[in-house]
């Protein structure tokens, strides 16, 4: 059963930080280097100083960016820049945002979730991960003994029982209400009413949880838990390091938005391909329709319209490259059944990202698992204008635009005990860092309602 517990959140002190938009950031893995510098310069207490501490010349095992993050974290707590709530609570969290002119309000809650191995089936992943980020986050955990970044997790609640119970105990005023640096409006309520805490905890006990975003951090939390158990073998069962900070949203919320992380390919193994040879190979599996010739800059709306053509059951890509030319690729009838369904589980064979990886990246381009794990060879971006900009600067040789993975596909893959290729989903917007944090004190027990 899933154990979702209230907690005493650590957060910015409004008396010291009256404007949260000055210090709250996106998660570390979507902050570009130039953005990191802008956040750091904007405010001395910006979260980027904790989640992306800067490396310096002369760093060693005793003095490095992780130890500096830990020192900064201690200083902020000593100076009351960060303060802790006196009693456990769930934190109802509303995010108002806009996608292509349409307004959404996603509602979730922040809580601590007991760590479970994936083999238990209580918490399920849906994506593969890269190896490098896990080592980086583990060292940050060890030095700071805190969770700065909530993992985005989904729970199945058709009756909306969890949020219904939380709203019963909703205070009149939010603890936070502000528009963040990306223009989204964040509103957070602290819910500490005892009967609500009990009801929400019981509601989660019968649920399976699905990680939407933050697979690296969850796997890192499991490694950190193992490390802490070796150091504190007598620690109680509810020791704080047995839990992970999460943002949980209802899988059946119609306000849940998934975008697609489009693929960009770079490096010599990709650059060697000539246009004619690549198109000939693609014809084996796809109907290839030229959209734009050389010298015609692609329009974003034109690309979106062609990508969206066809039913939701059809696999369609847009290939960009060779002087920003564009082609529409539609999977030929029978290819999925003949080549994919015989090789893998039906839940995977239906995914556009699997079609792309298996037929194009592996069979056509000859990219192996090591190449796809190399973040310099295979890059990801959810915004078509930025994809075009990267191609125009020749930082990638070609790109493949994809339609978003559907939330029911995420559930089917996770329930089957399978994983999608990396970056198969982009739940939008990302959950912000700096709203609530949690401590990992080995001597502290989490109070279960």
pLDDT in tens, 62-89: 999 999 999 999 999 999 999 999 999 9
d(Cα 18, Cα 72) in Å, to the nearest integer?
Answer: 20
d(C-alpha 202, C-alpha 208), whole Å: 13
Q: Residue 46: what pLDDT?
A: 98
Rounded to two decimals, the pTM is 0.86
Separation of alpha carbons 24 and 378, rounded Å: 29
Higher pLDDT, 154 or 214: 154
Q: How far is CA 202 from CA 68, 113, 183, 199, in A?
A: 40, 13, 35, 5
Q: How far apart are CA 391 and CA 387, in angstroms?
A: 6
Structure tokens at 366: 């000859």
| Cα(435)–Cα(51) distance, integer angstroms | 13
Most distant CA pair in the chain: distance in Å? 68
Mean pLDDT of 24-41: 94
Residue 93: name the closest of 433, 445, 423 by CA: 433
The number of helix segments (H) and strand segments (E) in the chain equals 16, 21
What average pLDDT does the segment 34-59 reach? 95
Predicted pLDDT at 174: 97
Q: Average pLDDT of 159-176? A: 96
pLDDT-derived band at 129, boundaries 50, 70, 90: low
- Alpha-carbon distance of 158 to 403, in angstroms, equals 26
pLDDT of 317 above 80: yes
What are the b/e assignments for 152-161, b being 16+ CB within 10 Å?
A: bbbbebeeeb
Read off the pLDDT band of 368 (50, 70, 90). Answer: confident
Tens of pLDDT, residues 87-102: 999 999 999 999 988 9
Question: 122, 116, 189, 108: which is closest to 152 by C-alpha?
Answer: 108
**Cα–Cα distance for residue pair 114/120, rounded to 1 Å:** 12
- For the chain, what percent of residues have pLDDT higher than 70? 97
Average pLDDT, rounded, for the chain? 91
**Angle subtended at Cα 229 by Cα 51 and Cα 414, rounded to the nearest 5 degrees:** 65
What pLDDT does 292 receive? 77
Domain regions of the chain by residue span: 4-256+429-439, 261-403
Average pLDDT estimate for 219-236: 93
Q: What is the pLDDT of residue 149?
A: 95
Residue 127 is predicted with a pLDDT of 63
> What gap in Å lies between CA 163 and CA 202, rounded to an integer?
13
Average of pLDDT values for 261-288? Answer: 93
H helical segments located in 396-447: 407-415
Q: Which CATH class is domain 261-403?
A: alpha beta
Residue 128 has pLDDT above 90, yes or no: no
């Amino acid at each position: 059963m899933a154990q979702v517990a209230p907690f005493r959140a650590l957060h910015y002190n409004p008396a010291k930080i009256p404007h949260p938009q000055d210090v709250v950031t996106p998660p570390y893995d979507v902050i570009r280097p130039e953005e990191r510098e802008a956040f750091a310069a904007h405010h001395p207490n910006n979260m980027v100083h904790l989640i992306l501490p800067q490396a310096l010349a002369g760093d060693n095992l005793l003095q490095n960016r992780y130890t500096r993050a830990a020192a900064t974290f201690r200083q902020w707590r000593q100076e009351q820049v960060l303060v802790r709530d006196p009693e456990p609570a769930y934190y109802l969290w509303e995010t108002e945002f806009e996608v292509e002119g349409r307004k959404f309000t996603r509602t979730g809650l922040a809580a601590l979730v007991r760590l479970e191995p994936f083999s238990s089936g209580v918490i399920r992943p849906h994506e593969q991960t890269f190896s490098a980020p896990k080592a980086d986050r583990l060292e940050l955990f060890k030095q700071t003994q805190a969770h700065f970044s909530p993992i985005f997790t989904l729970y199945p609640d058709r009756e909306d029982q969890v949020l219904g119970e939380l709203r019963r105990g909703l205070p009149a005023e939010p603890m936070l209400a502000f528009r963040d640096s990306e223009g989204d409006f964040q509103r957070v309520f602290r819910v500490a009413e005892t009967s609500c805490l009990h009801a929400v905890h019981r509601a989660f006990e019968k649920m399976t949880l699905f990680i939407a975003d933050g697979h690296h951090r969850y796997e890192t939390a499991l490694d950190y838990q193992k490390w802490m158990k070796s150091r504190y073998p007598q620690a109680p069962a509810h020791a704080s390091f047995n839990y992970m900070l999460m943002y949980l949203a209802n899988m059946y919320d119609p306000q849940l938005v998934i975008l697609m992380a489009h693929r960009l390919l770079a490096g010599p193994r990709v650059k060697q391909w000539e246009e004619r040879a690549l198109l000939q190979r693609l014809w084996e599996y796809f109907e290839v329709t030229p959209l734009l010739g050389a010298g015609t800059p692609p329009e974003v709306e034109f690309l979106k319209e062609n990508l969206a053509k066809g039913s939701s059951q059809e696999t369609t890509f847009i290939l960009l490259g060779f002087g920003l030319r564009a082609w529409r690729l539609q999977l030929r009838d029978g290819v999925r059944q003949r080549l994919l369904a015989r090789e893998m589980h039906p839940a995977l064979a239906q995914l556009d990202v699997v079609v792309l990886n298996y037929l194009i990246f592996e069979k056509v381009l000859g990219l192996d698992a090591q190449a796809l794990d190399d973040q310099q060879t295979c890059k990801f971006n959810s915004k078509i204008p930025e994809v075009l900009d990267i191609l125009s600067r020749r930082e990638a040789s070609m790109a493949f635009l994809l339609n978003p993975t559907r939330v029911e596909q995420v559930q089917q893959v996770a329930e089957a005990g399978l994983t999608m290729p990396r970056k198969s989903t982009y739940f939008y917007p990302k959950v912000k860092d700096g709203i609530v944090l949690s401590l990992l004190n080995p001597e502290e027990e989490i109070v279960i309602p």
